[in-house]
């Protein structure tokens, strides 16, 4: 069943039941919509887009933070047969421009936070964007855009519009549905093209793994532009379960939401789980003060999960099920490999192939490796993307004979459980976010005292990895750590160096930085500590 059909079905089966709750702890506010309202809003938006000439195969960008409007607008795009193009809200102007150009988007939906970033590149975007829709408060809408609700009201009840009825656009499982941007090892975003079959499979896969029922309530904290949390939500979506969107992250806000909303399933990034444990240990959170007995499942992913974290978690939540998930945007998100609730006592591996998936570990020649031999993890299944859009060379390299080459190094034990050995070359995964060292290196090389710099990932139990910089200062120049800290405030916080070393940056004869050598020099001791936990 298409996910657009699932929404229509939920509207018929559970019209007055709550579909989405949005909690904003910072302002102590809450909003919600029913399944009927969700469906009708999506239909009205789809019909308004059609009325303005948007057709099957057109592209619609969504640059929005999580809100009650996010999913209804996303589904509205899908109903037209156009492609939904969610963008990372951390993207700066240059990447917003690159992604929108790649998609050749005709429609651009954006929130208040992004006005400045868009105005810096709007003359270029105007070459292909014909419709600007604003999802923020009406009084903040720039003159060159139209508020989304006003657009819907004006264009979903006209002579040629069908209002709240289902758009008559033929859709099939093989039709393209969405363009999700990821990044390659150079830091340049790649456009991952997903089909309706990919999205539909995510619903059934997640439900098969975690057994969601209509009574389950899913707490969604991570951004919806990403395939991670959204695809986990789809297991509840399949059965019309309620979703709670939490805008803002703190241990207390998370526990408050679980207790007050009666959440039964929560997907956490490793840093958030760490912070909750620290708050419990410091008695900032007293579990006895909360209603948590209904919380049946905590699952985690997006970065390697430290075994010590799960051991400590089980001390406080001994009756709670746990699962580890592994996935990529190219696999339509998580679940292609997962530990499985019944295997939660096996701390360390990322698990077994998910429902409908196959996995192999191969050497550089493509030969299948067996027990405890490390090689590249490759996957085959219904979630494999269609292609890297407009990038046939990268597609051919990544998808070979139906197998998705992840670039991640793994090994399988004698029982077939897969262990992640290392992540993609050079990429740093910091609290679930991908950081590409070249971007940070290029920034620091603009400093007049810096001769050379290499950025590597140093293992960190809480965050997975933290970015560390090895800095070579120009002859005669004097530089201290504080000057580096002050200079890097121009970077987004998650890209700022967390450790700084001064020393020579080794390069090979072709001029490439010898990062394996640097990792041995600066990260070896911490890596040994992490590896002890994985044994």
Same domain, 478 and 387: no
Same domain, 265 and 312: yes
Q: Tell me, what CATH number does 187's domain have?
A: 3.40.50.980
Q: Tell me, what CATH number does 337's domain have?
A: 3.40.50.12780
3-state secondary structure of 74: helix
Same domain, 37 and 108: yes
| Domain-located, residue 106 | yes
Domain count, the chain: 3
Same domain, 277 and 357: yes
> How far apart are alpha carbons 261 and 453 in whole angstroms?
48
Amino acid 530: pLDDT: 34
The strand ranges marked E within 423-463 are 428-430, 433-435, 450-460
Q: Tell me, what CATH number does 479's domain have?
A: 3.30.300.30
Query: Are residues 179 and 192 in contact, defined by beta-carbon separation less than 8 angstroms?
Result: yes
Same domain, 115 and 170: yes
Closest by CA to 246, choosing from 223, 225, 269, is 223
Length, in residues, of the chain: 535
Same domain, 405 and 451: no
Same domain, 264 and 353: yes
| Domain-located, residue 223 | no
> How far apart are alpha carbons 457 and 477 in whole angstroms?
26
Same domain, 403 and 446: no
Same domain, 281 and 413: yes
Amino acid 409: pLDDT: 82
| Domain-located, residue 291 | yes
Question: Can you give the residue range of the structural domain that contains 385?
Answer: 249-422
| Domain-located, residue 108 | yes
Residues 6+ away with beta carbon under 8 Å from 531: none
Among the three residues 365, 395, 422, which one is the final residue of a domain in this structure? 422
| Token pair recorded at residue 78 | 């899908």
> How far apart are alpha carbons 119 and 137 in whole angstroms?
18
> CA torsion 503→508→509→511, rounded to 10°?
-70
Amino acid 182: pLDDT: 82
Give, for all 535 residues of the chain, the pLDDT tens digit: 999 999 999 999 999 999 999 999 999 999 999 999 999 999 999 999 999 999 999 999 999 999 999 999 999 999 999 999 999 998 899 999 999 999 999 999 999 999 999 999 999 999 999 999 999 999 999 999 999 999 999 987 655 556 678 888 999 999 999 999 986 434 578 999 999 999 999 999 999 999 999 999 999 998 999 888 889 999 999 999 999 999 999 999 999 999 999 999 999 987 788 889 989 988 999 999 999 999 999 998 876 677 778 888 999 999 999 999 999 999 999 999 999 999 988 888 999 999 999 999 999 899 999 888 888 999 999 999 999 999 999 999 999 999 999 988 889 999 999 988 756 677 788 888 878 787 788 789 889 898 888 999 998 888 888 999 999 898 788 999 999 999 999 999 989 999 999 998 887 543 467 888 888 888 755 544 433 333 3
| Domain-located, residue 394 | yes
Amino acid 57: pLDDT: 97
| Domain-located, residue 270 | yes
Amino acid 398: pLDDT: 96
Amino acid 186: pLDDT: 47
| Token pair recorded at residue 462 | 């809480």
């Amino acid at each position: 069943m298409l996910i657009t059909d699932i929404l229509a079905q939920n509207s018929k089966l559970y019209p007055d039941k709550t579909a989405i709750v949005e909690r904003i702890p910072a302002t102590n506010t809450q909003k919600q919509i029913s399944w009927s309202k969700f469906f009708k809003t999506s239909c009205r938006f789809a019909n308004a887009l059609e009325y303005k000439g948007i057709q099957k195969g057109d592209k619609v960008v969504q640059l929005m933070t999580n809100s009650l409007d996010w999913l209804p607008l996303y589904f509205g795009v899908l109903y037209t047969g156009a492609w939904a193009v969610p963008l990372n809200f951390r993207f700066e102007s240059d990447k917003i421009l690159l992604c929108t150009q790649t998609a050749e988007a005709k429609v651009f939906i954006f929130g208040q936070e992004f006005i400045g970033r868009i105005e810096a590149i709007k003359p270029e975007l105007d070459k292909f964007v014909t419709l600007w829709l604003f999802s923020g408060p009406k009084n903040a809408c720039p003159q060159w855009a139209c508020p989304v609700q006003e657009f819907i009201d004006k264009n979903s009840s006209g002579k040629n519009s069908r209002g709240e009825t289902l758009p008559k656009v033929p859709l099939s499982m093989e039709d393209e549905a969405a363009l999700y941007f990821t990044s390659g090892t150079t830091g340049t975003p790649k456009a991952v093209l997903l089909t309706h079959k990919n999205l539909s499979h995510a619903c059934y896969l997640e439900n098969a793994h975690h057994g969601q029922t209509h009574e389950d309530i899913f707490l969604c904290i991570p951004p919806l532009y990403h395939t991670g949390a959204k695809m986990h939500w789809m297991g509840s979506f399949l059965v019309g379960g309620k979703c709670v969107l939490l805008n803002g992250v703190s241990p207390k806000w998370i526990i408050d939401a679980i207790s007050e909303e009666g959440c039964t399933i929560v997907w956490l990034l490793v840093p958030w789980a760490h912070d909750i444990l620290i708050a419990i240990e410091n008695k900032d959170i007293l579990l006895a003060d909360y209603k948590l007995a209904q919380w049946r499942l905590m699952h985690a992913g997006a970065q390697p999960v430290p075994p010590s974290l799960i051991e400590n978690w089980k001390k406080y939540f001994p009756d709670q099920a746990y699962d580890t998930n592994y996935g990529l945007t190219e696999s339509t998100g998580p679940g292609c490999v997962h530990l499985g609730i019944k295997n939660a006592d096996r701390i360390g591996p990322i698990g077994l192939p998910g429902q409908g998936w196959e996995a192999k570990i191969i050497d550089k020649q493509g030969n299948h490796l067996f027990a405890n031999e490390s090689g590249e993890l490759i996957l085959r299944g219904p979630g494999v993307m269609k292609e890297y859009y407009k990038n046939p060379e990268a597609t051919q390299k990544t998808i070979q004979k139906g197998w998705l080459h992840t670039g991640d190094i793994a090994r399988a034990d004698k029982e077939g459980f897969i262990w992640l050995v290392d992540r993609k070359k050079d990429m740093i995964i910091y609290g679930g976010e991908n950081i590409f060292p070249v971007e940070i290196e290029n920034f620091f090389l603009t400093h007049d005292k810096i001769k050379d710099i290499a950025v590597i990932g140093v293992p960190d139990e809480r965050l997975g990895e933290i970015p560390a910089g090895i800095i070579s200062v120009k002859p005669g120049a004097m530089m201290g750590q504080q000057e580096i800290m002050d200079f890097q405030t121009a970077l987004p916080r998650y890209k700022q160096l967390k450790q700084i070393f001064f020393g020579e940056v080794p390069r090979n004869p072709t001029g490439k930085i010898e990062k394996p050598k640097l990792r041995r020099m600066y990260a070896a001791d911490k890596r040994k500590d992490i590896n002890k936990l994985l044994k």
